[in-house]
Structure 1
């Protein structure tokens, strides 16, 4: 591997750095965007059961806020439980927008890496082509410099595409995942409002 990096020349290093950042984001988002971590399915029934039994209290709200992003939305709703349905729903929607923004964290960076990696590979290709033409001196071609220029051109183009493909795949996957999680939280938050205001059963 190190011999390949040496053959690819210095233009490969920005691509390697981008790949490390992309891998870190992918691993972090895979861990953070799990349904059980963002919007656990058993949270709403347990909260409604506790609310019907004891009402709201500081300990309950603190525990719920630390539970999950969905828990933070529920906390805002429960703090407005004495207000009208419209006020409670609006407060939940505001909290939901904030949580949705948090779920999008790092995705812009991942999308940028997916878009820029081929361009960085193209830049390395151009550097390699420059070295190839530079090998044609007036006294003749320099085979070593010619081979190095070809290596730089080909390796950088390949590495750029290699980084871009999985980055784009995971970027689109995470975008769809965030949309699904946001919809799930909206449905559960709406159910909380309707149950508390007596418009539906658990």
Structure 2
């Protein structure tokens, strides 16, 4: 592997750095965007059960905010339980915007890497082409420099595409995952509002 990096020349290093960042983001988002961590399905029934038993208390709000993103949204609604349905929904929407921002963390960076990696590979290709054209001498072409230029051009193009493809796949996957999680949290929060205001039982 190190011999390939040497053959690819210095333009490969930004692509390697981008790949390391992309792998880190992908691993972190795979861990953070699990449904049982973001929007546990059993949380709302437990919250409603506790609310009916003891009412809305400050310690419940604190525990919910520390529990999960869905917990933060539900806590925002319960804090305004004595207000109108509209005020309760507005507080939930405000908390939801903060949660969505947290769920989308690093996704812009991952999308940028997916877009820029082929361009960095193309830049390396151009550097290789410059080396190839510079291989000409008055007595003919320098085969060593010619081979080096070809290696730089091909390896950088290949590595750029290799980094871009999984980065784009995971970027789109995470975007869809965030949208699904946000929809799930909206449904849970709406159910909380309707139950609290007596518009539905469960």
- Which of the five TM-score ranges fits, normalised by the shorter chain? over 0.9
Instruction: Kindly report which structure 2 residues correspond to 1:62-73, keeping only aligned pairs within 5 A, or say none.
Output: 62-73=62-73
**Could you tell me how far apart the structure 2 residues matched to 1:172 and 1:20 are?**
19
Cα deviations across residues 46-67 of structure 1 (Å, max 9, x unaligned)?
A: 0000000001112211111100
Give TM-score scaled by structure 2 length: 0.99
Aligned pairs, how many?
A: 202
Offset, 1:145? 0.5
Give 2:114's aligned residue: 114
Instruction: Kindly report which structure 2 residues correspond to 1:1-202, keeping only aligned pairs within 5 A, or say none.
Output: 1-202=1-202
Q: Which runs of 5+ in 2 are unaligned?
A: none
Give TM-score scaled by structure 1 length: 0.99
**Could you tell me how far apart the structure 2 residues matched to 1:173 and 1:138 are?**
55
**Could you tell me how far apart the structure 2 residues matched to 1:91 and 1:58 are?**
16
Offset, 1:128? 0.3
Q: Secondary structure at the match of 1:66?
A: helix
**Could you tell me how far apart the structure 1 residues matched to 2:96 and 2:62 are?**
18
Superposed structure 1 runs of 4+ greater than 2 Å apart: none
**Could you tell me how far apart the structure 2 residues matched to 1:145 and 1:75 are?**
66
Q: Which runs of 5+ in 1 are unaligned?
A: none
Offset, 1:84? 0.6
**Could you tell me how far apart the structure 2 residues matched to 1:90 and 1:146 are?**
66
Offset, 1:139? 2.2
Offset, 1:99? 0.7
State the superposition RMSD in angstroms: 0.6
